[in-house]
Amino acid sequence: MNLETKWLEDFVALANTRSFSASARQRHVTQPAFSRRIRALEQAVDVTLVDRSTTPVGLTPEGQLFLVTARNLVEQLNESLSHLRGLSIANEALDIVAAHSLALSFYPPWISRLQQGLGELPTRLVAMNVGEAIHVLREGNCDLMLAYYDPFATMQLDAEVFPSFRLVRSICCPFRCQTSVGKLSFHSSTTPPFPISPIPRELSWAAVCACC
């Protein structure tokens, strides 16, 4: 016996609508094609399933009995496919590389907030130095990189290939300590004292668009 799943779905649709034309529209096929598929199903099971002598159409006693089986098969198949797709998605994780400091301080609360809005998001995080992270990103061995953006750094990524956007803005402030006698541990030889200004740093992630 050679049964096609679409035939079973056609038969269930016909049992629900009791109309060949309405079922054909629901199944997105022409009415002649739909009728041929119902005929093919009847030939496969070797019984008449549909009573075509009435309007609206009905099911024969054999058709009513087979309808229970057809519905169960279609439902079980759809449930199994949904389950398999769910398992496939669950096995896919977002590979993220990040600088050690960001992996410890920034990543945990950030991914927690992200999952609150998006739901469960499987991820794999690897902490490494920035040079290694850039190499991994360029080789296409990760999906995202979390790093501080420094426009003066010697190692730069091509923005055309690795687009990025700012997540947060942080400020790096240097401090001078006092000695045991209350003097500054270091000072500038300039007069007046050399000003110390906060250094803005941008925290960005780079998406690997070219390697997807």
Average pLDDT over residues 8-35: 93
The number of C-alpha atoms within 13 Å of 132 and in the hemisphere containing its C-beta is 9
pLDDT of 146 > 90? The answer is no
What's the rounded Cα separation, in Å, for the pair 123 and 108?
A: 11
> In the structure encoding, which two tokens stand for residue 103, read together?
């992996």
Contact (CB, 8 A) for 61 and 48 = no
What's the rounded Cα separation, in Å, for the pair 169 and 188?
A: 29
Lowest mean pLDDT of 4-8, 17-21, 48-52, 144-148, name the range.
144-148
Fold held by 5-90: Arc Repressor Mutant, subunit A (1.10.10)
β-strand 58-59 against 123-127: which pairing, if any?
unpaired
Fold held by 94-207: D-Maltodextrin-Binding Protein; domain 2 (3.40.190)
Question: Cα–Cα distances in Å, from 50 out to 8, 36, 39, 43?
Answer: 13, 13, 9, 12
> In the structure encoding, which two tokens stand for residue 172, read together?
């790096």
Query: How much is the pLDDT for 99?
Result: 84
Query: How much is the pLDDT for 207?
Result: 38
Question: Cα–Cα distances in Å, from 146 out to 66, 72, 106, 130, 159?
Answer: 58, 49, 9, 9, 15
Lowest mean pLDDT of 54-68, 135-149, 195-209, name the range.
195-209
Verdict on whether the full-model pTM lies above 0.75: no
Rg of the chain (C-alpha set): 33
Region at 119 (left for phi over 0; alpha for psi -120 to 50; beta for the rest) = left
Instruction: Locate the domains of the chain by residue range.
Output: 5-90, 94-207
Write the DSSP assignment of 19-69 as a string of letters. Answer: -HHHHHHHTTS-HHHHHHHHHHHHHHHTS--EETTSSS-EE-HHHHHHHHH
SS3 content of the chain, % helix, strand, coil (to 5): 45, 20, 35
Q: Give 98's DSSP letter.
A: E
Lowest mean pLDDT of 26-35, 91-100, 197-206, name the range.
197-206
